[in-house]
Amino acid sequence: MVALRAALLSVLLTVPCVCANTPAPPIVHRFHQNHLAMGTEFTLDLYAPDQALASEVAAQAFDEIDRLEALLSNYRPASELSRIGREAAAHPVITDPETFHFLERSLFWSRESDGAFDITVGPVLRAWGFFFHSGRIPSSSELVALRPRVGWQHIHLDPGTRAVSFMTRQPMELDPGSIGKGFAIDAVIAILREQGITSAFLSAGNSTLYGLGAPPGAFGWPVHVPDPHHPGQPAATILLHDTSLSTGACTEKFFVHNGHRYCHIFDPRTLSPAEGMLQTSVIAPSATDSDALSTVVFVLDPQATRYLLEHTPETRALLFGQPPDHEACLAINWEGSPCTSAKPSPHKDLPL
Amino acid sequence: MIARRLFLQGLSATAITAGLAPEISAQEAASQAETEAARQIAPSADSSPLRVGIIGPGSRGKELVRNLLRVPGVRIVAAADVYPPRFDQLNQVCGYTVPSHTDYRALLDRKDLDAIVVATPLGLHASHVIPALQSGRHVYGEKTMAYTVDQARDIAAAAKVSNRIYQVGHQYRYSPWIRAAIARVKAGEIGNVTHILGYWNRNNDWRRPVPTADPSGHLERLINWRLYHEWSLGLIAELGSHHMDIANWIFGSAPTTALASGSICCYHDGRETDDNVQVVLSYPAGRRFIFTSMTDNAKQGDQLWLYGTKGSLNVTLEDATFFYEPRQIVKAPTNGKGEEKGVTTSASYRPEGEMPYRGPGKPLTIANPEDATTIAIRAFVHCVRTNTQPIANADVGLGSALGVIHANQALREKKEVAIPLIST
Ligand SMILES: NC(=O)c1ccc[n+]([C@@H]2O[C@H](COP(=O)([O-])OP(=O)(O)OC[C@H]3O[C@@H](n4cnc5c(N)ncnc54)[C@H](O)[C@@H]3O)[C@@H](O)[C@H]2O)c1
């Protein structure tokens, strides 16, 4: 049995106290709402004095998510990202600062990870049959033919004019799937703060999470990280306080061929599914970054991950790999020692 | 009736013929209008500098700014708003500090502005758009054009006198899928369109949070202006005006009468405007546009249904789908010799035979499905640079405003109201 561990992520210098001369904290209630967007279900929990305020704030939060979905979705031809994907091959496309910033951050993680993270990888997933739930193994010539249409290094950003151009002169599909949910969460958290909300928890399908402040009387929002080697058992429980956590795993979108599991998280450098990793969880102050990093560390080999995270302030990671190629459990900057009691899986291959 | 029929066809045939030889046919004029529209809609390589100011950078204003910043050469150089937190939000959108003014007149006094966007509450549109035009700037003014018919006409007159561009925020006129669908409707694909039904339903109280203490209620009325008569014509204006504009476009006419009702059914929170409304607008030849909006059930969402004698068209915020009525009986050809060719028997299943029996419909597919607001804003910049009349000009704005304003009057007076034939 893995022991539960609670680690407080931001150092709280003051502990709430009931003193005679401090005004009593306002009475707040907890509210909860769900919203389907970006191909997943967002949930918002927040503390507010009354239902009317909670519902207005939630409406603003979900409107913002819908706005960003309309801006970034690769399933919507009218999105700004789709427009760029279509036109930046023919001429430089001037875009708005928000979209430009989104692309800058995406390319930043591509550069930092030596290409392990890449928002242009869509056509490769398509070739592997990931969009229609019918996996297939493409021929290597098929993959080689995709090369000119894939590759973050083909995107040129000019910050002076906010112009985006594709150096290969080929249209590219820009897929926000591995960073857009985090980007949306950061935007919503900014709105919640602006509206004076001090305690809220926002989740995009449980894979990208943000804890704003803490629930009354608590130090943070509890999150359990499961241990994929021991289904049903948490490997760690942490408290999110003004920070985010994202998890990448190969447990939902995958296909099995000849007993091998092919994962929807791709290694853009090999144009093939990432191998050896089962689950990655990354904590970072920005949800955009933790979202991107959960993919980065899924694809990178553990040494490269360790090097990257040790050079990225305020990030922590808990990784579960498949021995013998990868360590069964690897904690980087993670509070406590979640790996010491996580036993290697008795099975060579993951139970499907 | 001719005047009413030709009225309001977007970049209207009348407007085109007015400046040309009198013998030009309506058909030729319409095709010239189409060519000009295509030119406005297309991206342009022109990146000459254009300095834009904004009055009212609220939620819509910021979205317009995002779109302006996608047009090469455009820079936002000044903003005016009475609510100071907007300035920081605008700076965030722009990525630089935009010089700000708490009085719009100080913005108009600047010497470094070519065009102005007005995105203030409806009741203030005329008081901002008219001085902006008179100051010699081109104006993109949000819909609904104005709060009263007189104000709408004054805006049109100010644009004419100052010889500046006025474009109204009816961006669906620029939507590629709506344009493509309407072109097919105009070519007769669903027969004679006699009824248009517009739904715009939501499930929330239509309020925005007031972030700070507000003992005087002043901020509540500024932020939730939609809920108070002073500046708002309610759901009919905020949601119905878009559908009314499309109905005018399809029927090729402004409405002739309005009937309406509404009530406060759910949200008894001190608001003045109704939380549900129902409108019937009449058009020449007995045609009807019906609009309903409620705010406590969003099942129908935002949809427009066009019903014609041969089929129907469903338009939503992001797509368009055609459905066809069963064919009428037709005379069948025979081979003359009286011989029957015979049929080959097979299974009877056909997907379009499933309930509902009209089948899933034929979605419209188009090559270049850009966002309507992105195009409308780019087209505005094109019109300013080339001094061209915009597709969504003052006539378009006035046509929709006539429906909105008279439907509100009918609602208040609880009777059918005649809509006078008014042009700009
Ligand atoms: N075309 C569309 O699809 C569309 C969509 C949404 C809104 N709109 C229209 O845009 C307009 C604005 O709507 P919104 O939702 O952005 O409202 P909003 O309340 O968010 O923004 C209005 C802004 O105007 C400011 N303002 C009020 N009085 C002012 C004054 N005297 N001087 C300067 N600024 C002043 C407010 O402080 C606010 O920042 C409305 O007419 C609305 O119908 C159009």
Residue B418 has pLDDT above 50, yes or no: yes
Q: How far is the CA of B222 from the centre of ligand 1 (A)?
A: 10
Å from CA of A83 to ligand 1 middle: 27
pLDDT of A252 reads 65
Is the model's pLDDT at A206 over the cut of 60? yes
User: For chain A, what percentages of helix, strand and coil (3-state, to nearest 5) are there?
Assistant: 30, 25, 45
Cα–Cα dist B234/B38, whole Å = 34
Question: Where does B42-191 show beta strands of DSSP type E?
Answer: 50-55, 74-80, 100-101, 115-118, 138-141, 166-168
B117/B190 same-domain check: no
What CATH code is carried by the domain that includes residue B346? Answer: 3.30.360.10
Q: Please state the rounded mean pLDDT for residues A97-109.
A: 98
Task: Kindly list the residues from chain A whose CB atom is less than 8 angstroms away from the CB atom of residue B69.
Answer: 94-97, 162
Each residue of A244-285: pLDDT tens digit? 999 998 866 667 777 777 777 888 888 888 888 999 999 999
As a whole number, mean pLDDT of residues B62-80 equals 97
Residue-wise pLDDT for B16-48, tens only, equals 444 445 557 878 888 888 899 999 999 988 999
Which of B54, B55, B60 gets mutated to test ligand 1 (max ligand atoms within 8 A of its CB)? Answer: B60
Per-residue pLDDT tens digits for A141-150: 888 888 888 9
| Tokens 């008795």, located at residue | A346
Q: Is B259 left (phi over 0), alpha (psi -120 to 50) or beta?
A: beta
Mean pLDDT over each residue of chain B, to the nearest integer: 90
Weakest-pLDDT range from A89-103, A245-259, A271-285, A298-312: A245-259
CA-to-CA dists, residue B332 to B326, B329, B338, angstroms: 16, 9, 13
Cα–Cα distance for residue pair B114/B68, rounded to 1 Å: 13
Beta bridge partners of B259: B280
Q: Is B71 in contact with A96 (Cβ distance < 8 A)?
A: no
Q: Which of B317, B370, B373 to mutate to test the interface with A (most CBs of A within 10 A)?
A: B370
Q: Is A267 on the interface with B (CB under 8 A)?
A: no
For residue B307, how many other CB atoms are within 10 A of its CB?
18
How confident is residue B353, by pLDDT bands cut at 50, 70 and 90?
very low
> How many domains are there within chain B?
2
**DSSP symbol at A345:** P
CA dihedral B201, B205, B210, B215 (to 10 degrees): 140
For residue B66, the CA-to-ligand 1 centroid distance in Å is 15
Query: Tokens for A262?
Result: 């092919």
For chain B, the first-to-last Cα distance in angstroms comes to 17
Scanning B259-322, the segments in alpha helix (DSSP H) are none
Same domain flag for B53 and B105: yes
DSSP string over A137-163: ---HHHHHHHGGG--GGGEEEETTTTE
Instruction: Among A78, A194, A196, select the one facing B318 at the smallest CB separation.
Output: A78
- Show residues of chain A in contact with B371, CB under 8 Å: 70, 78-80, 83
Task: Classify residue B39 by burial, with Cβ atoms within 10 Å: 0-12, 13-18, 19+.
Answer: middle
B133 CB-near residues (< 8 Å, 6+ apart): B139, B155, B158, B159, B162, B164, B166
Nearest Cβ partner for A96 among B66, B207, B318: B66
Question: Can you tell me the distance from the alpha carbon of A291 to that of A294, in angstroms, rounded to the nearest whole number?
Answer: 5
Residue type, B128: H
CATH number, domain of B146, equals 3.40.50.720
Mean pLDDT, residues B200-218 = 90
| Binding site membership of B86 for ligand 1 (Cβ less than 6 Å) | yes
More confident residue, B10 or A317: A317
Same domain, B164 and B184: no
Does B281 share its domain with B328? yes
Nearest CA to CA, how far is B327 from chain A (Å)?
34
Instruction: Indicate if the pLDDT at residue B1 is higher than 50.
Output: no
Cβ of B174 below 6 Å from ligand 1: no
Task: Give chain B positions within 8 Å (CB) of A80.
Answer: 70, 371, 374
Residue B102 Cβ inside 6 Å of ligand 1? The answer reads: no
SS3 of residue B16 by DSSP: helix
- Phi then psi for B316, rounded to 5 degrees? -120, -175
Judge whether A349 is closer than 8 Å to chain B, CB to CB: no
Asked, for residue B399, whether it belongs to a domain, the answer is: no
Per cent of chain B over pLDDT 70 is: 88
pLDDT at residue B68 tops 70: yes
- Asked if the structure places residue B400 within a domain, the reply is no
Residues forming beta bridges with residue A222, ordered by sequence position:
A239
Measured between its terminal Cα atoms, the distance across chain A in Å is 22
Percentages of chain B per state (helix, strand, coil), in multiples of 5: 40, 20, 45
Q: Is B180 exposed, middle or buried (0-12, 13-18, 19+ CB in 10 A)?
A: middle
Question: Cβ contacts (< 8 Å) between A56 and chain B: which residues?
Answer: 205, 207-209
Ligand 1 centroid to residue B62 C-alpha, Å: 10
- According to DSSP, the β-strands at A163-166 and A155-158 are antiparallel
Residue among A176, A199, A349 at smallest CA distance from A275: A349
Task: Write out the two tokens for A297.
Answer: 């560390």
Contacts of A79 in chain B (CB under 8 A): 371
- Is any ligand 1 atom within 6 A of the Cβ of residue B81? yes
B186 and B78 within one domain: no
Q: Compute, in angstroms, the gap from residue B92 CA to the centroid of ligand 1.
A: 18
State yes or no: pLDDT of B355 exceeds 90: no
What is the rounded distance in angstroms from the CA atom of residue B353 to the CA atom of residue A141? 44
Nearest chain A alpha carbon to B71? A94
Alpha helices in B194-337 (DSSP H): 218-223, 234-235, 241-251
Question: Measuring CA to CA, which residue among B327, B325, B329 is closest to residue B358?
Answer: B325
- Nearest chain B residue to A194 by CA distance is B211
Which token pair is A228?
């994929």
Q: Which of A55, A57, A95 sits opposite B70 (nearest CB)?
A: A95
- B167 plus B194 within the same structural domain: no
Asked whether residue B358 falls in the same domain as residue B377, the answer is no
Q: CATH code for A80-166? A: 1.10.3980.10
Region of poorest pLDDT, from B103-112, B126-135, B352-361 = B352-361
- How many angstroms does the Cα of residue A234 sit away from the middle of ligand 1? 49
Inside any domain, residue B94: yes
SS3 A32: strand
Q: Give the count of Cβ contacts less than 8 A between chain A and B.
A: 62
Q: Is the peptide bond before A346 cis (omega within 30 degrees of 0)?
A: no
Using the mean position of ligand 1's atoms as its centre, give its distance from the Cα of residue B257 in Å: 29
Domain containing B269 equals 176-369+405-418
Residue in the structure block whose two tokens are 């969880």 = A281
Tokens of B292: 């309903």
Distance from CA of B40 to the nearest CA of A (A): 17
**What is the structure's pLDDT at B19?**
45
Q: How confident is the model at residue B13 (pLDDT cuts 50, 70, 90)?
A: very low
Q: How far is B325 from B405, CA to CA, in rounded Å?
A: 35
- Looking at the structure, tell me whether residues B191 and B117 fall in a common domain: no
* Length of chain A as a residue count: 352
Q: Phi and psi (nearest 5°) for A330?
A: -140, 125
Range scoring the smallest mean pLDDT among A86-90, B142-146, B334-338, B394-398: B334-338
Contact between A80 and B374 using a beta-carbon 8 Å cutoff: yes
- The verdict on B130 and B202 lying in the same domain is no
Quick check: is B423 in a domain?
A: no
The pLDDT-based confidence of B328 (bands split at 50, 70, 90) is low
Average pLDDT, chain A: 86
Q: Atom of ligand 1 at shortest distance to CA of B169? A: 1
Q: Do A94 and B374 touch (CB under 8 A)?
A: no
**What is the rounded distance in angstroms from the CA atom of residue B248 to the CA atom of residue B8?**
7
Note whether A239 and A280 are within 8 A (CB): no
Domain residue extents for chain A = 80-166
Q: Cis omega before residue B144 (within 30°)?
A: yes
Determine which of B46, B52, B69, B381 to mutate to test the interface with A (most A C-beta atoms within 10 Å). B69
pLDDT band for position A322 (50/70/90)?
confident
Same domain flag for B291 and B354: yes
Interface test with A, best of B207, B371, B373, B374 (most A CBs within 10 A): B371
Q: What pLDDT was estimated at residue A23?
A: 65
pLDDT over 90 percentage in chain B: 76
Q: Do residue B411 and residue B275 come from a single domain?
A: yes
User: What tens digit of pLDDT does each residue of B232-275 get?
Assistant: 999 999 999 999 999 999 999 999 999 999 999 999 999 999 99
Task: Give the Cβ contact number of residue A3 at 10 Å.
Answer: 13
**Which residue's CA lies nearest to atom 38 of ligand 1?**
B58
Q: Is residue B54 part of a domain?
A: yes
For the segment A21-26, the average pLDDT, to the nearest whole number, is: 66
CA B225 to ligand 1 center in whole angstroms: 9
Residue B203 inside a domain? The answer is: yes
Whether pLDDT at A14 is above 50: no
- Tell if the CB–CB gap between B209 and A53 is shorter than 8 Å: yes
Sign of the torsion formed by the C-alpha atoms of B22, B23, B25 and B28: negative
- Is the CB of B142 within 6 Å of ligand 1? yes
Per-residue pLDDT band at B278 (split at 50, 70, 90)? very high
Q: Which pLDDT score, from 0 to 100, does residue A345 have?
A: 45
Partner-chain contact A80 B93, CB within 8 Å: no
* Closest protein CA for atom 21 of ligand 1: B58
What is the bridge-based pairing of β-strands B193-200 and B302-308? Answer: antiparallel
Rounded Cα distance, B203 and B298, in Å: 5
Task: Output the residue whose Cα is nearest ligand 1's atom 27.
Answer: B120
Note whether B75 and B205 are same-domain residues: no
